[in-house]
Each structure stands twice: as structure tokens, then as C-alpha cells.
A and B are shown apart, each in its own frame.
Chain A
Amino acid sequence: MAINTPKQTSHLKREILVRLIRAFLSDNFEERTRMIPYDMRPKGHEVPYRCCIYKERAILRDRTVAGLGLSIEETEDYAELSDLASQALERKEPEQKPLTVLTTACKGCVPARIYVTDLCQGCVARPCVNTCKFGAISVKNGKSVIDPEKCKNCGMCAQVCPYQAIQRIIVPCENACPVGAINKGEDGYAKIDFDKCISCGKCVAACPFGAVHEKNQIIDVLKHIKAGKKVIAMVAPAIMGQLPCTPGQLKEAIHMLGFKEVYEVAQGADVTTTTEAAEFVERLEHGAEFMTTSCCAGYNELVDKHIPEMKPFRSDTKTPMYYTAEIVKKEHPDAITVFFSPCVAKRREALQNPKVDYVLNYEEVGAWMIALGIQVGECEEREFKVEASAEARNYAVIGGVAKAVQTQLPEEIPAHPVIIDGLTKQSIRDLKKYAKTGLCELGNLIEVMCCEGGCLGGNATVNAYKPALKQLTAYVNESKSLVSGAEPTQK
């Protein structure tokens, strides 16, 4: 599976996070932050990626700005990192837009188009010329030539060429975005249209130059912990496959970071499961043909912004994060809550939920552990106070939500799950069709996951997909199932 392929860009982002955290923990945060680009590319250092050391430092500076949780778009080029570090410290709440584009790092890729390569043999059959519905291809000097005025980028010619000589040139971010929210602007550099963006993070993962960054919230969280506030972690189920340790060791490691308590979001997922199952039964009894799940933040933003006609079919049940935050704020009204997330989209959901104060992704959590030198695999075991079910802990795996809901349904109203394993242009077309017709011929319970593989495939995960799945599944298997441990089903 091609999820979470290793990337040098991730290495750079994580290195900057570690340096930022160490700067914060030092006695001179502002100055240490200002020095990050110079510490990473000191005088005489090799220049591994760009044209010169100055360009590399400029990009590292911008990566540090994103690490501070600020927008490149709204930051002056002449602003010193030391001043920006102070600005980040004064911030009262995180910014609304979760992503920022580094124009310095953006390659300004050549525009997406169909291109005839030198492999073209100028053959006699000329299927490209004959297939093109727009008359855009002619043969000149023994080679096919595309008229850009007429070409509609349909790609038919590329499909029929017997030499595979015609290629589609793509812009990785544009190609990865399922909703057309990121495009090359007039200046040739990528820009995000936040009215369209669903915060899926696919552009972050796709850009080979690492030009799209999440705006981190690590400084905000560090600040509250340093001030001695009661900061509580809520860890999404996917985290149990992320670090080389047991769940109990992970809990202890999170306490070592300074958190006063750690809740499994699986606890909230158990509420989602029962609520969503009851809702499913009610909807079907009232004649609904299908219902979709509602726990993926990326999917929810897709429906709100692009498929409003799906709203009546989307479950009204809240997300596991919502229920967990509700439990935490009830038990600790004075606490600051931090959600540990595998993806960007949860940052948007958190901004709309006053009970979730901050979101850290797994890269930030991992970098924090590095900065403090915590060996997670050597930590003591510390038990979670509430034991979540196996089904809830399995929410992070594709199909896991539907599986959990199924365990809570009466025999006479069975679910036939349909799994949308990752939002793509195609799966969005499918969803639009179901919403328009009010019918899904494949089943009646549609689980939609924005990321391929489910939350374990999130853009901000640190473990590779296969070992993460293995580790998480081992945890699920040792947990209590709703089926064997539950009360006998009421008839």
C-alpha cells in the first residue's frame, strides 16, 4: 500500500519542530528560534536540495513560521523569527485556517497539461489524431503536436498512444486535491481557496517540495503547560499504532510531557457507536434508504461545503472527539483540552467546538518526545481509567466504524455497509449520486473516511501503514468486545 511513504520533507518538518520545542524549553526562546535556519544550515554546510544556502535558509525560516502556527500569507517577509516567536506566545487561540503555503518552497510546477514526449514515432495509425474530439492534434515534422488552444486536457490521446509517448503532466497538489481547492495562482505558485478547502491534508502529503504546511499549535500547548495549567490529552484511536511502545507506556510518556490526565477518544467512540446505531434504526424505520457515518472531519467539511444535498443522509451523531471532550470538560471544567490527531481536518473541527482547545498531530507529539529525550519503549505502564471497547479502539481502521455500529443493531434491521476508503474525485462523484437520488444500491450504511486506510493513513501519522495496523490490531484484540461483554440483546 502506498500510504505514508517515507519523505525527506517530513524529516525536515519534524526536525524543525524538535528545534522549536527545545528553543521554547531553553531560557531564550526568541533568539534560539531566530537561529534555527542558521543552526540547520551553518556557514559552509552542504546544500542538499536547493540552488544555494540562502534559499535553503529562507525556506527553513518559513517552515519555522508554520511551526510557530503562523500563516506565511499573512507574515511580512522582513519579520524576524524572534519577533514572530513572541507573537506566537501572545496568541490567545489558534488561527482559523489550518494550512499555509510556503511560496519560497513551492516549485511553481509547470501547469498541468498533456505533453507529447520525444518517444512519439509519428506513426501511420495516428490514434491520437483520430481520438481527439477537439481537433487539437496534428502531425508536424513527423511528430504529433498539441494545440494548447484547442486541447481540453481530456487525456484520451495519452490513453491510445501505442508507444505511451503522450504523458499527462500533473501538478501534485492540484492533482491530489479532491475538491479543486488548491491551484496555481497568477504568479504560478500554489494557493489554497479556503472556501473550498476541506482540510483533508492530501496536498500536504502530495507536494514533493513540502510547500504546504499545517500550522502547528505546539507552542500554544507548551505555553499552557509551562504556566502550570491543567492540560488534558485526548488521544484519537489511531495513536495506538504510532509509537514503538504499549498503550500503557504511551500514557505514561504523555504524562511526562506535562499533561495531567490522558483520555482515550475511543471512550467517546463508544458513545458514537450506540448513538449512531440507534439513529440508524430510527432512520430506516422511517423509510430512509441509507445513512452515512459522521465521524470523519474531512468528510463532514466536504458535505457542508460541496454536497449540501447529502446533509439529510448524514448521521446527526457527534464525533468521538466531541463526546470525549464533553466527558472531559464535565469531569474537569477548568481543564485545557488537547486532541491528539492523525490529520489536519480535526483542527477545523476543533475550531468549531469550544470544548476542544487545541489539536496536536502525531508529528508534533513525536517531536516533543524527541525534544525531551523520552524513550517511550522504556516507560512504565500506566492504565487508562476507563476501558474503551475493542470496537471503539478499532475506529482508526478503515471499516471500523461500520463494524462497531453493526454490533449494536437488532437482527431485524441489519446494516449492509459500504466503505468509502479515501475521498477522491471519483468517490465524491459517487457520494453526490447517492445524495441526489436518495439511493445507494450497494448498501445502507455508508462509512466515509477521507484518508485511504482510515485514520491510520492520516497525513500527520508517523508510523508506516502496515506496522501501524499490526500494532493497533494487537491492542484491539486484547480489548473487551461489545459483543461478548455486552448485556444480552433486548428483544
Chain B
Amino acid sequence: MDKKISVKVCLGTTCFVMGSANLQELIEMVPAKYGDKVEVSGVPCLGLCSIDWEFSKAPYVKVDDDVIKEATVEKVLKAIDDKLAANG
């Protein structure tokens, strides 16, 4: 069995206010869509927003080690699909 893909939705204050509030649906949607191939969770601040002015690129989501800026549900699902395809 391959290693699971890990999806971390940042729920720190900045990401939450700048839009990850609307990404919370991923936490229910991803397991329903991908079963146990993908692990998803809402996590405390990933620290990406505090670098200089990078708050304007929030919300952030991490798919394994890849950082998705200005994340949307669609962007995250596409990143998961790409990973799954690459893992074969």
C-alpha cells in the first residue's frame, strides 16, 4: 500500500479570514471522494502567512509538501488528482 497523500487545510486566523473558512468543506468532501487514499485535516497556522506580506496570498493548503497559495476547493482537488495520477 502506498503512502497516503496528506492534505492540511490551514485554519490559522489569517487563512481562515482570507478564505479557508470556505475550505472546511474539504474535510468532509475529500474522504468521501478518495476514501483512505487521502488524509485530510484542518490544522493550526502553518506559518506561511507571516513571511513578509504573504498574508495576501492566503488561504494556504499543503498537499504533502506542496504549498497551494490562494487555495480554492477546485485547486486542492486538482492537486490531489495530479498526485494520485503521478503515484500511479
Contacts and interface: CB of A to CB of B under 8 A. Distances in A.
The 6 closest A-B pairs by CB, nearest first: A366-B17, A6-B22, A463-B21, A244-B11, A467-B24, A370-B14
Interface of A: 4-6, 10-11, 14-15, 18, 39-40, 243-244, 363, 366-367, 369-370, 373-378, 462-464, 466-468
Contacts of A11: 18-19, 70
B19 to A, nearest CB: 6
A244 B72 contact: no
B87 interface: no
24 contacts: A6-B19, A6-B22, A10-B19, A11-B18, A14-B18, A39-B53, A40-B56, A244-B12, A244-B42, A363-B17, A366-B16, A370-B13, A370-B17, A370-B18, A373-B50, A375-B44, A377-B12, A377-B44, A378-B44, A462-B16, A463-B16, A464-B21, A466-B25, A467-B21
Contacts of B53: 39
Contact of B13 (A5, A375, A464, A468): A375
Contacts of A468: 21
Interface in B1-31: 11-14, 16-19, 21-22, 24-25
A408 B42 CA distance: 40
Which among B12, B22, B45, B49 has the greatest number of chain A C-beta atoms within 10 A? B22
Given A369-B13, A375-B13, A377-B11, A464 B56 contact: no
A490 B28 CA distance: 47
B9 to A, nearest CB: 11
Contacts of B42: 244
Contacts of A374: 13
Contacts of A370: 13-14, 17-18, 49, 55
B58 to A, nearest CB: 8
Contacts of B55: 15, 18, 370
User: Is chain B's binding surface mostly helix, strand, loop or mixed?
Assistant: loop
Contacts of B16: 243-244, 366, 462-463
Contact of A369 (B11, B17, B25): B17
B22 A14 contact: no
B45 A375 contact: yes
Contacts of A378: 44
A376 B11 CA distance: 10
A225 B70 CA distance: 32
Contacts of A369: 13, 17
B3 to A, nearest CB: 28
B82 to A, nearest CB: 22
B17 A464 contact: no
A376 B19 CA distance: 16
Contacts of A466: 24-25
A5 B53 CA distance: 26
Contacts of A462: 16-17, 21
Contacts of B49: 370
Nearest to B53: A39
Interface string B55-86: 11000000000000010100000000000000
Nearest to B21: A463
Contact of B56 (A6, A15, A244, A375): A15
B50 to A, nearest CB: 6
A18 B18 CA distance: 10
Which residue of B17, B19, B21, B72 has the most chain A CB atoms within 10 A of its CB atom? Answer: B17
Contacts of A363: 17
A259 B50 CA distance: 24
A451 to B, nearest CB: 17
Contact of B17 (A4, A367, A373): A367
Contacts of A376: 13
A53 B25 CA distance: 34
Q: Which of A244, A363, A378 has the most CB of B within 10 A?
A: A244
B28 to A, nearest CB: 9
